[in-house]
Amino acid sequence: MLNTKEYLKKLDADLAVKEINDEVAANLQGGKYALQVYKDPGFRNLIGEFNVSPGKLLPGLDNQISSIKINTGKWRFANDDPRSNPNRVITLEPGEYPTLPFGLDNTISSIRRVG
Ligand SMILES: [Ca+2]
């Protein structure tokens, strides 16, 4: 019989394994990541796929995104350029966005999963 501390440790380990298994299963089911971003409108030229927040985008992604597919979760997209005032931020629900609204086309510089 495990004591409480050992039990919690085992529970933690089991949860970590479950998370990894869920992720692998999700990726195997049609290779669908939670978020897919494209360089061009209409889902052309896939340039990034994410299940967790990428945060600040690297060159190659920064100021490139023109269409988005959200398969799971809620994601926040921001133009972090300090010269742009006010900074543009939008939170999107699952769905397909073949073009980007609110002046975000080619201006997204960071992405965070918020739900
Ligand atoms: Ca673009």
**pLDDT band at residue 111 under the 50/70/90 scheme:** very high
Q: Are residues 56 and 83 in the same domain?
A: yes
Owning domain of residue 51: 34-113
Q: Which residues contact 104 (CB under 8 A, 6 or more apart)?
A: 65, 77, 79, 88, 90
Distance 21 CA to ligand 1 centre (A): 34
CA of 59 to the centre of ligand 1 (A): 13
User: Same structural domain for residues 48 and 10?
Assistant: no
Q: How many domains does the chain have?
A: 2
- 35 and 70 Cβ atoms separated by less than 8 Å: yes
Residues 57 and 77 in one domain: yes
72: domain CATH number is 2.60.20.10
Q: Are residues 23 and 49 in the same domain?
A: no
Whole-number Å distance, alpha carbon 65 to ligand 1 midpoint, is 5
* Amino acid 51: pLDDT: 96
CA of 44 to the centre of ligand 1 (A): 9
Instruction: State whether 61 and 8 are in the same domain.
Output: no
Cα 77 to ligand 1 centre (Å)? 14
pLDDT in tens, 12-51: 776 666 666 566 655 555 568 999 999 999 999 999 999 9
Q: What is the pLDDT of residues 40-88, one digit of tens each?
A: 999 999 999 999 999 999 999 999 999 999 999 999 999 876 666 566 8
pTM to 2 decimal places:
0.70
